[in-house]
């Protein structure tokens, strides 16, 4: 009897243990999914994977997080179109980008009367929106809500070209790149002082120093030279890098820009220049250099089709396994190609590298359209394995402006952070001038041109999100008559002119 009782007891214990195990697995299943989702969302947010978050997990985000992510992606029109944002700080941000400042101010004041106080995050978002739309108004906002942010305040003064006596020694004794460049803007009145500050920045990133061509003139892209006077001999053992440059009435800048590429320390390169129907002496200058340096090739277009179509034509003539671009009014540090190629040579799985830049005005002052920081990602710096990029995601969208940003986002989105590397060094110095492609869209922050650029930005971002949500490829195919996503008519290229150029050059559209 005791044996029977013991057996029953053991069976009961086994049953209970089995129930406990099933219960434990059930609990783990329920909470495991939650933990997975939380860690997954947190990781995506930390890594700034906002497109994936909106494409895959938008329904799992609370309202505040959703608003922040929409803001970070720059989809400001959503705040005006979707009624859930009415009466919120996000609606105010939408007004800043798409409406008159006075309308924003009226709404913002009524919001403050209802809310009394704003959170730190809300104030930060408003400030960031003001910096990129109405920097003059941002100055007062910064002084009121962020009085201790000296670096930001003086960066604003520098952007607005406000002459002031800088009394904060602490600001300029901190030897960080932003502080150094900012100090130069206020303190360096002579060219030798300007280049001295720039070389402090170069030293911070362990880059060789540069110098002025003419010590009497301010620092500018046309007045910079490197210590690299001799041309590095071609080494066929290294993969060929094709550098694409497009020009249009660039006679003032193109020689300095090309010389900076000619004197690169990377020893196997070619430079393909496509001139977009210039009417000045740009082509004469390029031809003169191509006679001396046979690795330069000039292609002249019969009609103007815009820089991104011109890049697409340039790559047709490129022979390199690797491709990168360089703007005709920028100056490349002699280490640019080798710094960006080294990670690709070390890791055959790596698809692309990017690098940083900063811009300077003709007066030799550092400049950033976004106020701070001066040093940021160079939008035209992508150096990539041509075959895999061209086959899997396509090249640049055929529009007049803004396609670099879309192309870069597509590379990062499709290949992911493990296959794309950013070289955190300012390997390019860009020019800030009134008639440049970038600057012409920022002379008036409330102008229609800015809104057109913003509309294009939002359109391609929404397309990326839609493709992600549907598990579809994110690839540009310019041979298709219809665009992948809506493009403002003001920045569309004339497809007939594009076809004409391809035909005249004997190129296929594929």
Which is higher by pLDDT, 12 or 219? 219
Task: Identify the pLDDT of residue 92.
Answer: 97
- Let me know: does 245 contact 318? Beta carbons within 8 Å: no
Strands 330-332 and 296-300, bridge-based pairing: unpaired
Residue 284's pLDDT band, with cuts at 50, 70 and 90, is: very high
Beta strands in 145-251 (DSSP E): 210-212, 224-226, 241-247
Q: What is the mean pLDDT of residues 249-266?
A: 97
Task: Identify the pLDDT of residue 484.
Answer: 85
- Would you mind telling me the total number of residues written for the chain in this entry? 510
Distance CA 152, CA 169 (A): 15
Distance CA 78, CA 89 (A): 13
Q: Where are the alpha helices (H) located in 47-149, listed in sequence order?
A: 50-56, 63-73, 77-81, 89-98, 101-115, 120-133, 135-145
Q: Does the pLDDT at position 158 exceed 50?
A: yes
Task: Identify the pLDDT of residue 478.
Answer: 81
User: By C-alpha distance, which of 73, 27, 24, 26 is closest to 48?
Assistant: 73
Q: Does the pLDDT at position 23 exceed 70?
A: no
- Let me know: does 454 contact 76? Beta carbons within 8 Å: yes
User: By C-alpha distance, which of 178, 357, 327, 153 is closest to 246?
Assistant: 327
Ranking 25-34, 272-281, 319-328, 355-364 by mean pLDDT, the lowest is: 25-34
Task: Identify the pLDDT of residue 441.
Answer: 36
- Let me know: does 252 contact 326? Beta carbons within 8 Å: no
Name the most confidently modeled range: 4-8, 55-59, 131-135: 55-59
Q: Which helix (H) or strand (E) holds 332?
A: strand 330-332
Displacement of CA 55 from its chain's centroid (Å): 21
Task: Identify the pLDDT of residue 149.
Answer: 87
pLDDT tens by residue, 191-218? 999 999 999 999 999 999 999 999 999 9
Mean pLDDT of the chain, nearest integer: 88
Specify the pTM.
0.88
Task: Identify the pLDDT of residue 469.
Answer: 97
Task: Identify the pLDDT of residue 28.
Answer: 44
Q: Which residues contact 411 (CB under 8 A, 6 or more apart)?
A: 351, 352, 382, 384, 389, 393, 420
Above pLDDT 70, what percent of the chain? 86
Backbone angles phi, psi at 232, to 5 degrees: -65, 130
User: By C-alpha distance, which of 444, 392, 450 is closest to 419?
Assistant: 392
Q: Does the pLDDT at position 34 exceed 50?
A: no
Q: Does the pLDDT at position 439 exceed 50?
A: no
Q: Does the pLDDT at position 19 exceed 90?
A: no
* Cis ω before 373 (30° cut-off from 0): yes
Bridge partners (DSSP) of residue 330 are 430
């Amino acid at each position: 009897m005791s044996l029977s009782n013991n057996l029953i007891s053991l069976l009961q214990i086994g049953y209970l243990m089995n129930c406990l195990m099933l219960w434990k697995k059930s609990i783990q299943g329920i909470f495991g999914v939650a933990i997975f989702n939380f860690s997954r969302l947190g990781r995506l947010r930390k890594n700034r994977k906002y497109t994936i978050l909106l494409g895959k997990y938008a329904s799992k985000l609370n309202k505040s997080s959703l608003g922040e992510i929409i803001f970070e992606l720059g989809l400001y029109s959503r705040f005006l179109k979707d009624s859930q944002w009415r009466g919120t700080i996000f609606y105010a941000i939408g007004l800043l980008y798409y409406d008159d400042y006075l309308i924003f101010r009226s709404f913002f004041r009524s919001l403050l009367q209802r809310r009394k106080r704003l959170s730190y995050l809300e104030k930060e978002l408003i400030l960031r929106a003001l910096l990129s739309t109405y920097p003059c108004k941002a100055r007062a906002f910064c002084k009121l809500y962020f009085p201790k942010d000296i670096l930001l305040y003086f960066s604003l003064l520098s952007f607005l070209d406000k002459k002031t006596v800088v009394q904060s020694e602490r600001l300029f004794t901190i030897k960080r790149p932003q502080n150094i460049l900012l100090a130069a803007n206020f303190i360096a009145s002579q060219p030798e002082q300007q280049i001295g500050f720039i070389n402090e920045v170069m030293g911070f990133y362990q880059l060789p120093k540069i110098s002025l061509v003419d010590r009497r003139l301010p620092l500018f892209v046309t007045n910079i030279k490197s210590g690299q006077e001799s041309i590095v001999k071609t080494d066929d053992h290294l993969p060929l890098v094709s550098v694409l440059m497009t020009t249009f009435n660039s006679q003032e800048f193109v020689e300095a820009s090309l010389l900076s590429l000619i004197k690169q320390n990377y020893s196997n390169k070619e430079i393909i220049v496509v001139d977009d129907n210039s009417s000045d002496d740009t082509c004469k200058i390029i031809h003169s250099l191509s006679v001396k340096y046979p690795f330069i090739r000039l292609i002249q277009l019969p009609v103007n089709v815009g820089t991104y179509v011109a890049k697409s034509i340039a790559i047709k003539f490129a022979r390199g396994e690797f491709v990168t671009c360089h703007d005709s009014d920028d100056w490349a540090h002699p280490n640019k190609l080798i710094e960006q190629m080294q990670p690709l040579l070390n890791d055959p799985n790596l698809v692309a590298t990017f690098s940083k830049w900063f811009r300077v005005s003709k007066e030799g002052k550092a400049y950033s359209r976004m106020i701070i920081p001066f040093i940021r990602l160079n939008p035209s710096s992508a150096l990539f394995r041509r075959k895999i990029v061209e086959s899997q995601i396509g090249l640049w969208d055929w529009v007049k402006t803004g396609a670099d940003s879309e192309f870069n986002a597509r590379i990062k989105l499709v290949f992911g952070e493990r296959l794309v590397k950013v070289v955190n060094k300012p390997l390019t110095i860009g020019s800030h001038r009134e008639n440049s492609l970038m600057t012409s869209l920022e002379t008036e922050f409330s102008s229609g041109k800015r809104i057109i650029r913003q509309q294009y930005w939002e359109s391609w971002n929404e397309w990326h999100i839609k493709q992600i949500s549907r598990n579809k490829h994110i690839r540009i195919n310019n041979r298709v008559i219809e665009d992948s996503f809506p493009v403002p008519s003001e920045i569309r290229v004339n497809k007939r002119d594009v076809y004409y150029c391809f035909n005249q050059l004997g190129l296929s559209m594929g």
